[in-house]
Amino acid sequence: MTTFSVVRQGDAWTVVADGKRWGRFAYKVDAEETAIRLSTRAAADGGEPEVLVQTPWGEMAELKIG
Protein backbone atom coordinates (compact mmCIF):
# COMPACT_ATOMS: atom_id res chain seq x y z
CA MET A 1 0.00 0.00 0.00
CA THR A 2 1.25 3.45 -0.87
CA THR A 3 0.27 6.28 1.43
CA PHE A 4 0.11 9.82 0.08
CA SER A 5 0.22 12.25 3.00
CA VAL A 6 -0.81 15.90 2.75
CA VAL A 7 1.20 17.73 5.41
CA ARG A 8 1.84 21.28 6.53
CA GLN A 9 5.47 22.42 6.33
CA GLY A 10 5.98 25.93 7.59
CA ASP A 11 3.70 28.20 5.60
CA ALA A 12 2.93 25.69 2.83
CA TRP A 13 1.38 22.27 2.15
CA THR A 14 3.11 19.36 0.41
CA VAL A 15 2.42 15.74 -0.53
CA VAL A 16 4.77 13.09 0.84
CA ALA A 17 4.96 9.44 -0.29
CA ASP A 18 7.75 6.88 -0.33
CA GLY A 19 10.25 9.45 0.95
CA LYS A 20 9.51 11.88 -1.90
CA ARG A 21 7.82 15.26 -1.80
CA TRP A 22 5.51 16.62 -4.49
CA GLY A 23 4.93 20.34 -4.74
CA ARG A 24 4.68 23.26 -2.39
CA PHE A 25 1.17 24.63 -2.18
CA ALA A 26 -0.24 27.73 -0.51
CA TYR A 27 -3.62 26.00 -0.09
CA LYS A 28 -4.37 22.59 1.39
CA VAL A 29 -6.98 21.84 -1.28
CA ASP A 30 -4.32 22.10 -4.00
CA ALA A 31 -2.14 19.56 -2.20
CA GLU A 32 -5.16 17.30 -1.70
CA GLU A 33 -5.95 17.42 -5.43
CA THR A 34 -2.35 16.46 -6.23
CA ALA A 35 -2.49 13.56 -3.75
CA ILE A 36 -5.73 12.34 -5.33
CA ARG A 37 -4.19 12.45 -8.82
CA LEU A 38 -1.10 10.56 -7.60
CA SER A 39 -3.21 7.95 -5.83
CA THR A 40 -5.38 7.49 -8.94
CA ARG A 41 -2.25 6.79 -10.97
CA ALA A 42 -0.99 4.34 -8.34
CA ALA A 43 -4.34 2.51 -8.38
CA ALA A 44 -4.26 2.30 -12.18
CA ASP A 45 -0.83 0.65 -11.87
CA GLY A 46 -2.35 -2.00 -9.59
CA GLY A 47 -1.48 -0.45 -6.24
CA GLU A 48 -3.68 0.09 -3.20
CA PRO A 49 -3.14 3.76 -2.37
CA GLU A 50 -4.56 5.79 0.47
CA VAL A 51 -4.57 9.54 1.03
CA LEU A 52 -4.05 10.99 4.50
CA VAL A 53 -4.39 14.66 5.46
CA GLN A 54 -2.91 16.42 8.46
CA THR A 55 -5.59 17.85 10.75
CA PRO A 56 -5.27 21.23 12.50
CA TRP A 57 -4.16 19.25 15.59
CA GLY A 58 -1.32 17.50 13.75
CA GLU A 59 -3.00 14.11 13.47
CA MET A 60 -3.32 12.26 10.18
CA ALA A 61 -6.82 11.44 8.97
CA GLU A 62 -7.99 9.57 5.88
CA LEU A 63 -9.21 11.84 3.10
CA LYS A 64 -12.72 10.79 2.17
CA ILE A 65 -13.13 10.93 -1.60
CA GLY A 66 -16.58 11.03 -3.14
Name 5's Cβ contacts closer than 8 Å, sequence gap at least 6: 15, 16, 17, 35, 51, 52, 53, 54, 60
pLDDT at position 45 over 90 = no
The number of folded domains in the chain is 1
In a domain, 66, yes or no: no
pLDDT at position 61 over 90 = yes
Over residues 34-43, the pLDDT tens digits come to 999 999 999 8
Which domain range does residue 28 map to? 8-61
In a domain, 3, yes or no: no
pLDDT at position 60 over 90 = yes
Confidence at 66, pLDDT banded by 50, 70, 90: low
Percent of the chain residues past pLDDT 70, beyond the cut: 98
